Amino acid sequence: MRPLTPTRFVEFDPKTLSELEGRAVVQITPEGTLGQAARTANRLTKGAIARLVEAKSFEKTKAGDVISLAWPAGMKVEALDVLVTPRKLTATEARKAGAKLAALGGGKTITVLAGSMVKAADLALGMALRDYRFDAHKSSQDSTVGEIVIAHKSPAETETAFAPMAAVAEGVHMTRDLVNEPANVLTTTEFANRLVEMEALGLEVEVLEEAELAELGMRTLLSVGQGSDSPSKVVVMRWNGGAADAAPLALVGKGVVFDTGGISLKPAGGMEDMTMDMGGAGVVAGTMRALALRKAKANVVGLVGLVENMPSGNATRPGDVVTSMKGGTVEIINTDAEGRLVLCDVMWYAQERFKPAGMIDLATLTGAIIIGLGHENAGVFSNDDGFCNAFLKAAAAEGEGAWRMPLGKAYDDQLKSRIADMKNVGGRPAGSITAAQFLQRFVKDGTPWIHLDIAGVASVKSATDYAPKGATGWGVMALSRMVQDLYEDR
């Protein structure tokens, strides 16, 4: 993966403005009050910023807006970016402002004259998150920010605050890279290899191959991948940063590296987007990277089921009955409802082996969740209010949209099968809920559990606050924050 853009923290000195190159950023308030660096820039440009504030158009500006002055007189920079910020900036406001600045980068160094800004580390995080490109397969690669320089009155303290944020940003970038990668590159084997590479960060990584999965009884998972030449795998990543006797949090990700729908073949239009059907596994991988990089003081195990869903003479047929690792039988009505078949075996294995303190599964599971929530929120399903509320709080703090959805026995009734213990689909009504109800059958009594349906937020068609169009990396920040809040800050 491409490394994060280098970020330096230096002593704030407005006198250096005249010698800076690339882009320089100064601050003014929505009321038009100039900060210390803005006053210096105003003097160098012979009143350009004062004229900007006095202009009628300035009345329409809002907090977080950036007004760029190209090739300002009296300065060497190519652009002077005037950032409109209130005196007391929230973390979210600072991050969004940083993201806007990074989007202007154009391959140049950006020097932010932050002065005594309290949330300067968050501003730097916003820049790091937005300064992302996936151009590994292009002949000519797009320019990103050359370097980020934060000039602050307390540079050492700001750099210290930014360090764990940078770890999370790197995890987000890893998730985006995985989700954006084409399926002929990110095969199940290549995916597993990239996860094994994280052993260098201190993670314990184990790859379970098909023979071992068969011995364990993961027949629902294996049924999804049996039509593909790519071998199905389960990868287990362990971060042991907490007490030796503390039960881990288990993160379980759906990793369908490409989903044709199998014999229940998807329509051709848009099928190319199914490279992102491993998004849940991508989020688990990025979160484990972030936890390892920031040396989280918690025990977390990440498990991902890696398969490819293809039609062939060996593929699972609609109407087949398969026995899960738990022992129940599943009538496979639709081979395009394959993600739950992958997750249920891995979830059961995670509980059997690790006895987790809680379990969260993530999957680009249903189109129905997009109909219900669009691309603003992931669907959240849970059997435990306290556990669920801890996640929702973390997601809100990190600005990652999440909305709790219902569960209930009436939805379970839709999964009744005439010939097996259950069906893998419950029909069109409440499609995302019946998928969650299916998964809940593989949650042991007493295990706090959350299911995150991220089909609408994993990859999007237009830029978000923190990412260009394509993979978003949604979930890495929220999960890292939840680990910090629930397991580290005790």
Residues 414 and 438: their CA atoms lie apart, in Å, by 10
340 is catalytic: yes
What is the enclosing helix (H) or strand (E) of 161?
Answer: helix 155-180
- Tokens 């999965």 found at: 213
Closest residue by Cα to residue 435 from 447, 453, 420:
453
Residues 343 and 324: their CA atoms lie apart, in Å, by 11
Residue from 39, 43, 266, 404 carrying the catalytic annotation: 266
Helix, strand or coil, per DSSP, at residue 24: strand
What backbone torsions phi and psi does residue 383 show, to the nearest 5 degrees?
A: -100, 5
How many residues are present in the chain? 490
Residues 95 and 373: their CA atoms lie apart, in Å, by 24
What is the enclosing helix (H) or strand (E) of 283?
Answer: helix 279-293
Could you tell me the two tokens for 417? 């099968």
- Tokens 């690792």 found at: 325
266 is catalytic: yes
Residue from 96, 254, 340, 441 carrying the catalytic annotation: 340
Burial 108-120 (b: 16+ CB within 10 A, else e): bbbbbbbbebbbb
Using an 8 Å Cβ cutoff, are 351 and 359 in contact?
yes
Phi-psi region of 22 (alpha: psi -120 to 50; beta: other; left: phi over 0): left
Chain-centre distance of CA 483, in angstroms? 15
Residues noted as catalytic? 266, 340
